[in-house]
Amino acid sequence: MPKKKAAPIQSVKGMHDVLPEEQLIWDFIIKKGRSILEDYGFLKIDSPILEQTNLFERSIGEGTDVVDKEMFNLKTKGGDNLTLRPEFTASFVRAYIEHGMSAWPHPVKLYGIGPVFRYGQPQGGRLRQFNQLNSEIFGDETPAADAEQIFILCKLLNEIGIKNTYVKINSIGDKSCRSGYIKALKDYYRPRLKKVCPTCKTRFKKNIMRMLDCGEEGCRAVSESAPQALDYLDIECKNHFKLLLEFLDEAGVPYILDHRLARGLDYYTRTVFEIWSEDEQINFALAGGGRYDYLVELLGGYKTSACGWAMGIERIILAMKALEVKIPESKHNPKVFLAQLGDLAKKKSLVLFEELRKSGIPIQASFGRDSIKSQLRIANKLGAFFTLILGQREALDGNVILRDMESSAQELIRLEDVVEEIRKRLKDK
């Protein structure tokens, strides 16, 4: 009787492996992101994945979906309450304060890349572990900073190959105009509470602005005619928004004003925005962000204006696949495969492999295999242009067989000429 196989263990719901064949697209996006952000003077920062839970409670805000429902919390043996970061912004602000960045020349421009965790209901484009590319500017209160952030983000998406994007944008004012707006929303929604979903009934008490962008049909019908934040902005907020839109016009960034865009995080002031694709198959935001002029102070720093964005890398990949975006081939795709047969050939092939690798020729081999047939099969699968075959005989005579994988033509060449020959022939491929 064959032994019973142990039950396989699956990855955690909403969390995925990134397999070798997907690494190319990941590298491509991350490289583009780093290169454009560094061109614009952003510095990279890595922050820990675990933070004190109260960092997120105080910044993102109790009453938000992220804090109330979606945090992965844990208690350490020492009794600390920690959380797997659900985003970067709060961590960057903590780091900005902790490392005395207020003394650095301003603006301080930071970016980071890495996994974030939200315990939501996984579905197309929504995961429990996903990766963000996140960008923040500290210490610039002018609309030029908001415009710079939006412009960079759109440029990046365009360079990645996601062309037809547009910005949904809104201003939700600041402390001085927010209370008038919240009162207007309460007056509007109170007599209409029967028509909204149970979650929005709770939002009415805890986070009324989130009622605006609820996706439920009934709620959408009600929010359509809700008071608009733009009508409650004071003169400074109005001017900020007007100037920002002028910047975007000048830069040719397409946008639509969306009076229902509130975003799910409490720290925003004035500008909020999201980037969407015009392609209907892509039915989620590719990126989102906004201004948060009180957060540094709220977390114990000096009053410092800030604005930023984050984009979800998995969503970018979904969009690239839907739009059939082609990415450049890796220069590491093997152009040459080294096959060997017999003990002496095996030993010599390690040295030959190293010689070719050092000369910058993309090469692969399967040192453990003995059958030439199976090695040629691998070479074909990898798309190698040439296979070098080193048998017992060739190893003794100081030769190697060069096989053209397309024509199957084979010829004998001297081992010392291999690098030069391969170089010459690869030029014609």
Residues in the site for ligand HAM, rule: CB under 6 A? 87-89, 118, 120, 125-127, 130, 132, 134, 136, 265, 285-290, 308-312, 314-315
Q: In whole angstroms, how close is the CB of 202 to ligand HAM at the nearest point?
A: 20
13 or 186: CB nearest ligand HAM? 13
For ligand HAM, the closer CB: 115 or 342:
115
Q: What is the dihedral of CA 140, 146, 147, 148, to 10 degrees?
A: 60
Shortest Cβ distance from residue 308 to ligand HAM (Å)?
A: 3
Shortest Å distance, C-beta 124 to ligand HAM: 10
Question: Least Å distance between CB 89 and ligand HAM?
Answer: 4
SS (H, E, C) the chain: CCCCCCCCCCCCCCCCCCCHHHHHHHHHHHHHHHHHHHHCCCEECCCCCEEEHHHHHHHHHCCCHHHHHCCEEEECCCCCEEEECCCCHHHHHHHHHHCCHHHCCCCEEEEEEEEEECCCCCECCECCEEEEEEEEEECCCCHHHHHHHHHHHHHHHHHHCCCCEEEEEEECCCHHHHHHHHHHHHHHHHHHHHHCCHHHHHHHHHCHHHHCCCCCHHHHHHHHCCCCHHHHCCHHHHHHHHHHHHHHHHHCCCEEECCCCCCCCCCCEEEEEEEEECCCCCCCCCEEEEECCCHHHHCCCCCCCEEEEEEEHHHHHHHHHHCCCCCCCCCCCCCEEEEECCHHHHHHHHHHHHHHHHCCCCEEECCCCCCHHHHHHHHHHHCCCEEEEECHHHHHHCEEEEEECCCCCEEEEEHHHHHHHHHHHHHCC
Question: For residue 151, what are the CA distances in angstroms to 83, 166, 248?
Answer: 32, 11, 8
State in angstroms the smallest separation of the CB of 387 from ligand HAM.
42
Distance CA 167, CA 149 (A): 12
CB closer to ligand HAM, 66 vs 384: 66
**C-beta closer to ligand HAM: residue 247 or 273:** 273
**Least separation in angstroms between CB 248 and ligand HAM:** 17
Contacts of 74 (CB under 8 A, 6+ apart): 81, 82, 83, 84
Q: Which is nearer to ligand HAM, 129 or 349 (CB)?
A: 129
Nearer to ligand HAM, 110 or 400 (CB): 110
**Minimum CB distance to ligand HAM, residue 205 (Å):** 22
CB-wise, 112 or 334, nearer to ligand HAM? Answer: 112
Which single residue brings its beta carbon nearest to ligand HAM? 312
Q: What's the min distance (Å) between Cβ of 383 and ligand HAM?
A: 32
Which of 128, 192 has the CB closer to ligand HAM? Answer: 128
CB of 331 to ligand HAM, least distance (A): 29
| Complex with ligand HAM: residue 173 or 312, whichever CB lies closer | 312
CB of 275 to ligand HAM, least distance (A): 7
Closer by beta carbon to ligand HAM, 112 or else 391: 112
